[in-house]
Structure 1
Amino acid sequence: MAMKVFVTGGTGFVGSYVLEALRLAGHLPYALVRSGSENKLPFREGLVIINGDVHDPVSYSTFLKDMDAVIHLIGIIREFPGRRITFQRMHAGATRKIVEESVKQGVKRFIHMSANGASESGVSGYQTTKAEGERIVISSGMRWTIFRPSVIFGDPRGRMEFVSELAKPIKLAPIVPVFGDGQYKLEPVAVEDVAKCFTGAINNPAAEGRVFHLGGGTVMTYNDVVQTIGRAVGRQSTHMVKVPFGLMIPLANALGGFSFFPVTGDQLKMLGGGNVCPEHDYQKVFGVTPKPFTKDNLAYLTPRR
């Protein structure tokens, strides 16, 4: 059955794929977009654009009255407090705004993007505010589903994506720095599979009231991830040099607030802690066979001219 679905974060990496998956499934997506960002949407046809700001419910409240579901995808991976871009504001504050307005307007179904590792006792503000956002959703009274993806990979189509960022130095430098020993484990999941889960949850009773971890099913060390990316960009073997976390974290803490510096101290702490999912129930509930993290599936790193 076709449904009207209100989507936040539709201009982002995952959001662009979710909008496409919704349209493919026959639903009508309504995308909340800040004025001037419409050109970041993946398409216009078959999409209702709402100019507004998630922090300003007046800008979108009337649309929520007719929605069958809300998909909330807004999130950030690093803070820039001078631009009012903080984990607290974007993960907790934005979630509280959209949840409260959804309840007020009678929305019954709410699907939320969190992150693997979200925890009140997390090692970073990213993790603790993701956990706070989850608590807001769970206590809303709506029929909710929460997704906690691991590292997401896929063609960024001009957006930020973990693998594409890692590929830049691998393509250009003879030696690639690896933080720590590189033996910490990751479980990359394809963005197309993440989008299928969000779309598949909308009208699926088996998904309601549940938290799903989204991992690709293959656990890899960070070193293996780097080597796989290297092969995808044409390197037989990628030479790596280990940089101690004890050296990098203080430096990243000092410079992470500047956009020119590639990582923050919190990001390094999370990376060193690994990113592996404790369960894979999503595969059965949503009928998803994970797309593996292989050289062939990273072809987007070397686009044909």
Structure 2
Amino acid sequence: MSCILITGGNGFIGRQIARRAVADGHVVRSIARSGRPTLTEPWVDEVDWNAADVFEPQDWRDQLGGCDAVIHTIANIRESPEQGVTFERINGDAAIIAGLEAERMNVEAFVFLSAVGTPPLVSERYQAAKLRAERAISDLDIRTGVLKPGPVYGEGANQGHFPYLVNRCLRAIDDHEFLARHFGDQRPLGVTHVARAALRVALDSDEPELLMPHSIKSYSENSSQ
């Protein structure tokens, strides 16, 4: 059993990582500005939900005590500069702050959910911020891992960021390898694959430090990994 802190644990991917970590018997903590999600599933009661702003580490630093790994999932695909929501801040600075705090508290591993490219109709600043964070994280004096998925679709009740029909199309593509391979690194990936991969990289020092979409796909429900 390990202790995992998920930054953004009540988000689309963060919730799936938390659910799987609980199912695997791990101690799970989350920090997010909105705290506990509005879910009634039994696993939710097993997570230590903390309402905190990643940019104010003095309010959540104590949650790193005894943690074996931090998985950083905070990101945004829309900017609202008047509210302080910019790609530079949310997709870049947040990850760097979380990584530095993990290093400061001697956490064994830090995993960053990055992206293989910029989503359609989104500014290139989105990816530039994530790449800046990747470079900074690589300099940390702890074990680090970076996942770079393409579009991540929801499964079951966890529908994610895309409209219903788009989400179904992405899943249909992923279900047919002969179609998915034509998308290259932009192949769709199910959120469960991303969650499994993030947990493995966080907890297994033998896992690679960088996972691209084809590697993330290998962490399937039926995989022995």
TM-score by length of 2: 0.80
Write out per-residue CA displacement over residues 192-225 of structure 1, whole angstroms, 9 at most, x where no aligned residue.
11111112222222225x21012xxxxxxxxxxx
| Residue aligned with 2:210, SS | strand
Counterpart check, 1:108 vs 2:108: yes
Q: Give me the whole-angstrom Cα distance separating, in 1, the residues matched to 2:11 and 2:216.
A: 23
The unaligned stretches of length 5 or more in structure 2 are 169-181
**Counterpart residue type for residue 46 of structure 1:** E
Write out per-residue CA displacement over residues 232-280 of structure 1, whole angstroms, 9 at most, x where no aligned residue.
xxxxxxxxxxxxxxxxxxxxxxxxxxxxxxxxxxxxxxxxxxxxxxxx2
| Residue aligned with 1:10, SS | coil
Residue 288 of structure 1, CA deviation: 6.1
Residue 157 of structure 1, CA deviation: 4.0
Who wins on radius of gyration, i.e. which is larger?
Answer: 1
Q: CA RMSD in A?
A: 2.7
8 Å CA contact retained: 1:51, 1:59: no
**Counterpart residue type for residue 130 of structure 1:** K
Distance 1:9 1:40, change over 3 A: farther
Residue 39 of structure 1, CA deviation: 3.2
Q: Give me the whole-angstrom Cα distance separating, in 2, the residues matched to 1:289 and 1:132.
A: 35
Counterpart check, 1:142 vs 2:142: yes
Q: Give me the whole-angstrom Cα distance separating, in 2, the residues matched to 1:134 and 1:96.
A: 8
Write out per-residue CA displacement over residues 35-54 of structure 1, whole angstroms, 9 at most, x where no aligned residue.
5x423466532111222110
Counterpart check, 1:16 vs 2:28: no
8 Å CA contact retained: 1:151, 1:162: no
Write out per-residue CA displacement over residues 85-118 of structure 1, whole angstroms, 9 at most, x where no aligned residue.
1100111111121111111111121111000127
8 Å CA contact retained: 1:5, 1:30: yes
Residue 65 of structure 1, CA deviation: 2.3
Q: Which residue of structure 1 aligns with residue 215 of structure 2?
A: 281
**Counterpart residue type for residue 133 of structure 1:** A
Residue 84 of structure 1, CA deviation: 1.2
| Residue aligned with 2:25, SS | coil
Counterpart check, 1:49 vs 2:49: yes
- The structure 2 residue matched to 1:38, chosen from 36, 42, 46, is 36
User: When the two structures are aligned, how many residues end up with a matched partner?
Assistant: 203
Q: Which residue of structure 1 aligns with residue 89 of structure 2?
A: 89
Q: Give me the whole-angstrom Cα distance separating, in 1, the residues matched to 2:15 and 2:62.
A: 24
Q: Give me the whole-angstrom Cα distance separating, in 2, the residues matched to 1:113 and 1:77.
A: 14
| Residue aligned with 1:281, SS | helix
| Residue aligned with 1:135, SS | helix
**Counterpart residue type for residue 192 of structure 2:** E
Q: Give me the whole-angstrom Cα distance separating, in 2, the residues matched to 1:282 and 1:104.
A: 29
Write out per-residue CA displacement over residues 137-166 of structure 1, whole angstroms, 9 at most, x where no aligned residue.
111111011000111112374764225274
Q: Give me the whole-angstrom Cα distance separating, in 2, the residues matched to 1:135 and 1:192.
A: 26
Between the aligned residues of both structures, percent identity stands at: 24
